Structure 1
């Protein structure tokens, strides 16, 4: 399928340019309190306008004929440096469990079998990477909303944090979304890609798919979901690995 220069594509390219600027050494500009305040205000306006114009709208879905012949693996290709993850990988994740905790009534430990027993959603969507490339893949897994309802969120919850098994140096990878995206019908915990178990390079055994946001929000190697009232005090305090390290926007809606 041709990849027209749609609004989603333009936003992905724009974000790539912004990310490149942040990473290329514009320290004086990015370190300016006034400039950072301007960026944060723009992000807030972007989030508010997108939600106002269709916060519950679905991302475009495609057909099997549109699947990309190659779907690049972004970010870390393995979490083997994490000894616990490596032990589970060696046994095909037979005894692996997803932990759901934080501000919940019923903390959960869910095996892949238990996740597979929940109602499943399959969707064919486009992954738009902040680096400027995109690919179309098929994903299957339970809707995150079903898992959260089983855990029972407390009234104070505003964010869901995804703690991952992989690291960049000493820093663990993590991401977060708010409740609107958490309960969006296309937000799923994918264990299957293109009708086969998720590969290691693509985040086995479980990754987040939050289809209305850019690729860096699609956390791989998810091992724990934490319900929180605030992101303050968590790692760098900005709600995600790249948000902390490179000032990427916390809300990466497309």
Structure 2
């Protein structure tokens, strides 16, 4: 994927008096650790301020059926490049299981049928991509809080990490596999769901079949597709770049609130 100007670039520019158009990707971050620390501090301030002003359970805007976009672009990977995923897709995900593990009392392995027996939620929301496009879609799935109730988080859990089937880079250490994370505030938000339907149909491969995350108050790269495993952790220290996500390890903001 080509490098994308994110809000992080604008923050760098305003902090240092540099034109945002002169900044691409995370080159400047790589060159100056002090800048990275400034950005992390600003990110924490943004998250704290947004939650203080809006409230932890403030809802993202929901739309009417008539507002649903006639087309909804595929963001990120259009299909994971793995034999395991291809076999799961060929079998219509009958053999797929979502693992819930880590700092939980009762580890789970849930089939798609299992998830569909849990209380569901449907919401029509806008997806805002960091690349500059938006689209409105109708999502149906199980609120993440319901799955966490089955597993029981341990008191030391602070974050949930979503491990995915798509690998954007071929790496020996696995750091090229897509993953994302959220804290427990977003995990228990009423609109945070594990979606298995889009616009009344089971998810297509392009849109993340069989299951994707929806965190409606954050940008599109947080909406992890092709979910395979949810891991409850107390820190990101043992996760590749230590920043809590594939793109975050490459310079993006961890908290992408909108």
TM-score, normalised to structure 2, is 0.89
d(CA) in 1 for partners of 2:28 and 2:194?
39
**Alpha-carbon offset, residue 85 of structure 1:** 1.3
- Which string of whole-angstrom CA distances, capped at 9 and with x for unpartnered residues, describes residues 74-96 of structure 1? 000001x2222111100110121
**Alpha-carbon offset, residue 102 of structure 1:** 0.5
1:178 aligned to 2:178?
A: no
Residues 117 and 14 of structure 1: CA distance in aligned 2, closer, same or farther (over 3 Å): same
d(CA) in 2 for partners of 1:47 and 1:68?
29
1:92 aligned to 2:84?
A: no
Residues 25 and 252 of structure 1: CA distance in aligned 2, closer, same or farther (over 3 Å): closer
1:202 aligned to 2:207?
A: yes
Corresponding pairs, count: 240
Could you say which residue in structure 2 is the equivalent of 1:157?
157
SS of match in other structure, 2:116: helix
Could you say which residue in structure 2 is the equivalent of 1:4?
none
d(CA) in 1 for partners of 2:148 and 2:86?
27
Residues 188 and 72 of structure 1: CA distance in aligned 2, closer, same or farther (over 3 Å): same
1:212 aligned to 2:213?
A: no
Could you say which residue in structure 2 is the equivalent of 1:134?
134
SS of match in other structure, 2:206: coil
d(CA) in 2 for partners of 1:154 and 1:193?
32
1:60 aligned to 2:61?
A: yes
Please, what is the CA RMSD of the aligned residues?
A: 1.9
TM-score, normalised to structure 1, is 0.90
Alignment counterpart, residue 251 of structure 1, candidates 235, 242, 255: 255
**Alpha-carbon offset, residue 15 of structure 1:** 2.4
Asked if 2 retains the 8 angstrom alpha-carbon contact of 1:105 and 1:154, the reply is: yes
Gaps of 5+ in 2: 12-19, 171-175
Asked if 1 retains the 8 angstrom alpha-carbon contact of 2:124 and 2:139, the reply is: yes
Asked if 1 retains the 8 angstrom alpha-carbon contact of 2:6 and 2:252, the reply is: no
List, as ranges, runs of 4+ consecutive aligned residues in structure 1 with deviation greater than 6 Å.
19-23
d(CA) in 2 for partners of 1:40 and 1:129?
21
Asked if 2 retains the 8 angstrom alpha-carbon contact of 1:16 and 1:132, the reply is: no
d(CA) in 2 for partners of 1:212 and 1:26?
24
Residues 240 and 148 of structure 1: CA distance in aligned 2, closer, same or farther (over 3 Å): same
- Which string of whole-angstrom CA distances, capped at 9 and with x for unpartnered residues, describes residues 170-191 of structure 1? 2100000000000000000000
Residues 213 and 89 of structure 1: CA distance in aligned 2, closer, same or farther (over 3 Å): same
Residues 37 and 116 of structure 1: CA distance in aligned 2, closer, same or farther (over 3 Å): same
SS of match in other structure, 1:190: strand
**Alpha-carbon offset, residue 198 of structure 1:** 0.2
Could you say which residue in structure 2 is the equivalent of 1:7?
none
d(CA) in 2 for partners of 1:29 and 1:96?
39
Asked if 2 retains the 8 angstrom alpha-carbon contact of 1:189 and 1:207, the reply is: yes
Gaps of 5+ in 1: 1-12
Could you say which residue in structure 2 is the equivalent of 1:69?
70
1:222 aligned to 2:227?
A: yes
1:15 aligned to 2:19?
A: no
